[in-house]
Amino acid sequence: MLYNNIESNKDDFNDIIETAYELTDEEEIYYFFDEIQIIDGWEHFARRMADQKKHVYITGSNAKMLSIEMEKVLGGRYLSKMIMPFSLSEAFDYKKIPHDEKAMFTTSKVAKMRKGCQEYITSGGFPEAQLLINKREYIKSVYEKVLLGDIIEREKVNNKMAIRLMIKKIAETVMHEISYNTLAGNIKATGIRTSTDTMIDYVSYAENAYLLFRNRNFVSKFAQKESLPRFYFYDNGLMALFLIDKQSILLENAVAVYLRRRYGEEVYYYKSKQTGIDIDFYLPEENCAIQVAYSLEEAEDREIKSLISFAEKNAEIGRLIIVTNEEERTITKNDRTIEVIPAFKFLM
């Protein structure tokens, strides 16, 4: 039973249950509530339904529905599931772009997949934006009202300019590690007062709101792992709001999101000052190292050298990959094979 009415109050929940039993004789009734947090006291109803072992699905889009808030009001009476924006495959399904194995051998369909992938890398995976002509305006509205607005409201952020500048700076430094001290220094340079501790707080707010996530350096000690991460955005469309003509950054962010979806927090970067090795993504569970290069025209020697050096110093590494915008081939060097995979194939 679907119910979404902002004019309602908590007393109406009982009417919903009564109506449900009037409409069906089924014992097992499934209830779906969207934006239920708008109604004060919803959590008492939700807890009661959970105690009665009813099937209740609750969705929401603002700060009151963050997992840490749900834990406070519902305790252990719920299972949460994060719904990320569309993956590339889901975006293709939504747009009815064929992308099965058979389509890979059809020139016209491959061309559509390449074009669709470029749109996805530039505009991201928000479902509502997929068929819009002006995707940017919609995504900007989501950022301002749903994400940033809720962060500021929920956390009672007074220094709004500082958090805006911090998020912009993080977007500009995707692909590189950045410290909280550096973030604070960059913002102070604009004349806005802030501190390192404030940056730590603001980053945690953005992570809790599923705006940002971090990858840690696999070879760092614990303190440095936490204080010198590489940040990425959960959606390319959001990050693109802060960038102009930065396709290489957007490509790496798209790869990061794909890996986050598949491997959760078990995705790292690998950077060693001692060896000079710098690997964009390392998957210990898969014994796989991945570099991202928009084009190998100028970066081939550098990317190959990093991967080969990494593999030679880590005997368990079984797969080496370079994700590019369009190039596809196999490179063999020092008895090692490197797969060069175009983005539209890798992201699927």
Residue boundaries of the structural domains of the chain: 2-74, 122-346
Instruction: Dump pLDDT digits (tens) for 205-229.
Output: 999 888 999 999 999 887 777 889 9
Find, among 228, 223, 313, the residue nearest to 274 by Cα.
Answer: 313
Tell me which of 26-30, 171-175, 264-268, 329-333 is least confident: 26-30
What token pair was written down for 185? 């220094």
Percent of the chain with pLDDT over 70: 93
Instruction: Dump pLDDT digits (tens) for 43-84.
Output: 888 888 888 888 888 877 665 566 566 666 677 667 777 789
Q: Are 174 and 181 in contact (CB under 8 A)?
A: no
- For 60, 135, 151, the CA distances from 81, given in Å and listed in that order, are 12, 26, 20
Instruction: Dump pLDDT digits (tens) for 142-194.
Output: 999 878 988 898 889 999 999 999 999 999 999 999 999 999 999 999 999 99
Look at residue 6 in the predicted model and tell me its pLDDT.
45
Look at residue 65 in the predicted model and tell me its pLDDT.
63
| pTM of the entire predicted model | 0.87
Look at residue 63 in the predicted model and tell me its pLDDT.
57
Q: Which amino acid would we find at residue 347?
A: L
Q: Which amino acid would we find at residue 296?
A: L
What is the rounded average pLDDT of the residues 289-314? 94
Find, among 348, 330, 327, the residue nearest to 117 by Cα.
Answer: 348
- CA dist 239 and 237 (Å) reads 6
- CA dist 93 and 165 (Å) reads 36
- CA dist 85 and 259 (Å) reads 14
Answer with the residue of higher pLDDT: 14 or 107: 107
- CA dist 295 and 323 (Å) reads 9
What is the rounded average pLDDT of the residues 12-30? 86
Q: How does residue 2 score in pLDDT terms, banded at 50, 70 and 90?
A: very low
- CA dist 129 and 175 (Å) reads 26
With a cut of 70, say whether residue 201 has pLDDT above it.
yes
The H or E element that residue 240 is part of is helix 236-240
What token pair was written down for 291? 């570099």
Q: Which amino acid would we find at residue 84?
A: M
Look at residue 322 in the predicted model and tell me its pLDDT.
98
What is the rounded average pLDDT of the residues 299-318? 93
**Mean pLDDT over the full length of the chain:** 90
Q: Are 151 and 164 in contact (CB under 8 A)?
A: no
Strand 336-342 relative to strand 329-333, pairing: antiparallel
What residues pair up with 338 in beta bridges, in sequence order?
320, 331
Widest CA span in the chain: 73
